Amino acid sequence: MRRFILGALSCAVLAVPALAHAQSREVTGRVTIAASGTPLQDATVTVIGQAVGARTNERGEYRMRVNGGDVQLLARALGYKRQERRVPASSQSANFSMDKDVLQLEGVTVTGAATTVERRNAATATVNVSAEELTRVPAPSLESAMQGKVVGAQISMNNGAPGGGGQVQIRGASSLLGRIDPLYVVDGVIISNAVRASGQTTLTGSLNAGEENGTNRLADINPNDIDNIEVLKGAAASAIYGSQATNGVVVITTKRGRIGGNKITATQRVGVNQLIRKLGSRHFTLDAALANGQAQSAEGQAGVKAAFAGNPSPYQDYQQQLFGETRPTVETILGVSGGSESTRYYLSGDDKQEKGIARNTSARRQSMRFNLDQTLGSRLTAALGGTIIRSFSQRGLSNNDNANSSPLYAFAYTPAILPLGTKDSTGTYPLNPFCGGYKTCSNPFDTYERFVNNEDVYRQIANARVNYSLFNNSNNDVQLSFVGGADRYSNEGYEFAPADLQFQRPGTDRGASFQGGVVQGNGTGLLTNSALSAVWTFTPTSRFLSATTSAGFQAEDSQGNDYSITGRGTVPTLANASGNTNTTVGQNRAFVRNRAYYVQEQIVALDDKLLISGAVRGERSSVNGDVDKLYTFPRGQISYRITDLIPYVSELKLRANLGESGNRPDYGARFITLTNAGLIGGQTGLIQAATLGNPEIRPERMHEFEYGLDASLFSERVRFEGTVYDRRIKDLLVRAQLAQSTGVNVQNINGGTMQSKGVELGLTFVPLESTRGLNWTARTTWYQGTTKILEFIPGIKPFTTGTAAGGFGNAYGRLRYAPGYAVSTIWGNFTDADGKVTPDTPMADANPRYQMGFSNDFRWGNWSLNSVIDYRHGGTVSNMTLSLFDEGENTWDYDKPSPDTKVGATLGEYRYNSWNGGNNTLAYLEDGSFTKIRELTVGYDLPTSVVNAMHGLNAKSARVNLSGRNLFIISGYNGFDSEVNNGGNFVARFVDLAPFPPSRSFFLSVDVGF
């Protein structure tokens, strides 16, 4: 039926007769900025209804040939409102004076592999983050730069280690077992956002790779090269990325050269990171320290006595000592761009050296990018781009572990009374006698000095776009385009724990068999994709509509190969993994291939007021059980703009979008595999894998309705955008527990349905517009969304995934997926009034009730002030960091008065006793609401007179910025930060367990343009 409609539309369009040409003449003019009269370079001037256009030069001038008769000219420039002007047959010139586009009404939004639509016609909620918004305040990674700016997304950093590591979750969870991150696309190239497992777990005894605190590869992308980020939320992207679009798509467009002379920009930034919140720890008296449960070993008692010898209050501020570093972070950026009508170029180089708040923690990203746009003759244009990146990080050691090696873990069980951070006369750190004794503890100062955790990434991303104008007349325009590219990286990991580190010594958990260890590994990835599209735009002379028909083919491959050598039992002076006492190797490969086809029809009609669009995409993938089966993902859209109908409402747009998208299975899921059972008599045996592959596995399928209403009010001083979505995820992958008597244990099958609903509101307000030279734009967003599991097919029981990212069992609260409950429900042990304990009781929701973002931009003369504030309401956190300190009788607020002395003598004891060995999970579940000052910037454009006075520089412009990120957290949360998550990126985030403490940063930037 859908196909029939598309066909019928195409036929109707074809039936409209083409009209004849007329004679031509030349039109010239100038485009300037309204307030200042400054010439506007690189603006486009087109003739409406004709495939004719020109760009302005440095002086804002344009020149073009138009057909005879009256014409309607349209001038557009990025960041400015469009302007139309009627040029009678008698006239040969038209000047434009452009107003700033404060409300972001202009621009286009992506609708297909090779098509866009005017943002004012867009049928989906669009989110754009501009270069200026991204780079105003330097950020550890792109996620951080996007925080507070994307309505409908929850963006969180996993902890405060330098180098990134964060999660973007768009419109809530859309999968339980499948991919949960959005797809990232840079100039048409799908890029990897993988996290490499470093193997640190082997050395620290933590439970899984998520706790290793690796960085996801988005950290490699240099925000300064980005011109624009567009966030496509779910089904809006279905026609472009089909089976990878369920989690949304982040479309990144890099900066390109503009027509004009060579333009050089240089930026120098200097900044510093600083521990944002310090918790401290309990202040002990001698008696309290002697009685502390963590000091009961002989060495512990001796340690207490030594600490108090001649010093009645030997408190040590460990967190300040370890995480109190304020070494400078430095970034240098150089950009060169320019070009002519036929050749445009952009080159940039960036070196950013970020220092962490703990010693030996840092991140460095060096990147070079080029973009080249070339016109070859009248029909062919080509664009090439490429980036080479090196990204290096040292992120220390944090989160959960089983050897008390993670600093906050060790500090929780260490009365802060000994100067553990001070080396003795031989240059060695003392052993920590607490947390049970020498054999069960660590000295984090020693660990951070000598434990090595390096990640070194070399990455190349290249893209090419070729466009061929196949046919063109006054009514028809046919373009063929090719977009292709590759992302290739190698991620080298090196972990080293010396044999004499306290938690590696003989008799410790980690040093039981072998002391010390090295993990040397490398993960490489290669993602390639290419797309061929044909786009035919038909505009009848009557101009009652413009119909764009497109079709294309897309091929996408991704390969990964990860291998590592783990050496246990280090040999003196040897730093290699091989050559150690016990060496094991590991390898993991993946190879995924996707082939897709699509057709799309997009019609803009009724004086550009109505948009109707339909598309269908078919996909085959090597990861599906049936690799030859074509899975189709349809989409339909409609929007209608009502203009000047109601007083004060200049435009009202109603929009609806209905689409399907997918989430494809993991590589290898379709195979029924064997597993290595070990040796017998020197021979290897293979046996049935306990997890049964699924030869019938297929993509998860999301069906999304999205409705919205956008309005521009009061002479475009106020803009409202409201969106409601309702998505249903069918064929959800769930874990089927099989009868063990079948000879297999579990199987992942398509057997569930989930529903997400949400509301996104945005209000942009321009209270002051050139009022005594003052401009003020305020934007507020509000987002609320929930995801609930509706049903499992018969036979599927509620399940947990068993990874630490989903929580630590009922005692501390864990995720458990059950029909009728939100996916982010935290389940735990509930103790009723009679003391009866019920496990697996739903207790709280990890998902925030709602989130708000507030941004304010002020401009007064040469001064500017910008702020971004992020507010999260609700969202429960399992505050395990607090539980560790309470268990260690060592919490910062341990000695505060107890609410009920029958339960515990002090506040800390009260909390720990109410938890009752995990029988009352609620004791450590805490509200994670916060207000964060994400960004604050004061900028000053140096006056031209001053710039000109900078002798010998020949500079054209200069700007000074003072900025801060994450300046303040206002939150009642009793911990470092409720945003962290022990297991890294996961379906729902709620585990705060000994994180690397988050930091705030300050920067001074100087930008000079030449």
The site for another protein (CB under 8 A) is made up of: 18, 470-471, 476, 478, 480, 532, 534, 536, 551-553, 555, 587-593, 595, 597, 620-622, 627-628, 668, 671-675, 677-690, 692-693, 736-745, 747, 749, 795, 797
CB of 76: closest distance to another protein in angstroms?
A: 27
- Which CB sits closer to another protein, 555 or 656? 555
Nearest distance, CB of residue 447 and another protein, angstroms: 27
Whole-number minimum distance, CB 627 to another protein, in Å?
4
Q: Which C-beta is closer to another protein: that of 81 or that of 620?
A: 620
The distance of closest approach from Cβ of residue 550 to another protein in the complex, given in angstroms and rounded to an integer, is 10
Cβ-based nearer residue to another protein, 556 or 992: 556
Are the CB atoms for 254 and 228 separated by under 8 Å?
Answer: no
Phi, psi of 27 (to 5 degrees): -125, 135
* Alpha-helix residue ranges (DSSP H) falling in 902-961: 907-915, 944-949
Nearer CB in complex with another protein: 636/668: 668
Q: 792 vs 912, which CB is nearer to another protein?
A: 792
Q: How far is the CB of 19 from another protein (least distance, A)?
A: 13
What sections of 524-672 are H helices per DSSP? Answer: none
Q: Which of 221, 228, 254, 251 is nearest to 459 (CA)?
A: 221
Give Dmax (Cα) for the chain: 102
Name the amino acid, one letter, at 153. A
What is the closest distance, in whole angstroms, from the C-beta atom of residue 352 to another protein in the complex? 36
Alpha carbon separation from 595 to 486, 552, 622 (Å, rounded): 16, 11, 9
- What is the DSSP track for 804-828? GGGBSHHHH-EE-B-TTSBTTEEEE
Closest approach of Cβ 533 to another protein, in Å? 10
Q: Which of 368, 689 has the CB closer to another protein?
A: 689
CB of residue 160 vs another protein: minimum separation in angstroms?
A: 34
Residues near 792 by beta carbon (within 8 Å), at least 6 away in sequence = 734, 751, 752, 798, 819
Q: Find the shortest distance in angstroms from Cβ 33 to another protein.
A: 40
Q: Closest Cα to residue 982, out of 170, 161, 155?
A: 161
By DSSP bridging, strand 328-339 and strand 343-355 are antiparallel
Q: Which CB sits closer to another protein, 5 or 687?
A: 687
Token output for 101: 């586009």
Q: Which is nearer to another protein, 208 or 786 (CB)?
A: 208
Strand partners, 365: 352, 391
Q: Find the shortest distance in angstroms from Cβ 437 to another protein.
A: 17
Q: How far apart are CA 39 and CA 776, in angstroms?
A: 24
Give the closest residue to 411 by CA, choosing from 812, 882, 883, 885. 885
Identify which of residues 452 and 744 has a Cβ nearer to another protein in the complex.
744
Cβ neighbours for 740, distance < 8 A, ≥ 6 positions apart: none
Contact 287, 326 (CB under 8 A): no
Nearer to another protein by C-beta: 628 or 834? Answer: 628
The smaller minimum CB distance to another protein, of residues 677 and 1004, is found at: 677
Paired tokens of 375: 């016109």
Decide whether 426 or 742 has the Cβ nearer to another protein. Answer: 742
Please count the CA atoms within 13 angstroms of the CA of 99 that sit on its side-chain side. 15
Q: Are 468 and 481 in contact (CB under 8 A)?
A: yes
DSSP string, 11-70: HHHHHSPP-----EEEEEEEEEETTT--B-TT-EEEETTSS-EEE--TTSEEEEEEESS-
- Nearest to another protein of 748, 753 (CB atom): 748
Closest distance to another protein from the beta carbon of 195 (Å): 18
CB of 538 to another protein, least distance (A): 10
Q: Strands 249-254 and 183-186, how do they pair?
A: parallel
Q: Nearest distance from residue 682's CB to another protein, in Å?
A: 7
805 phi, psi to nearest 5 deg: -65, -25
Give the total residue count for the chain.
Answer: 1010
- Cα–Cα distance, 653 to 642 (Å, whole number): 6
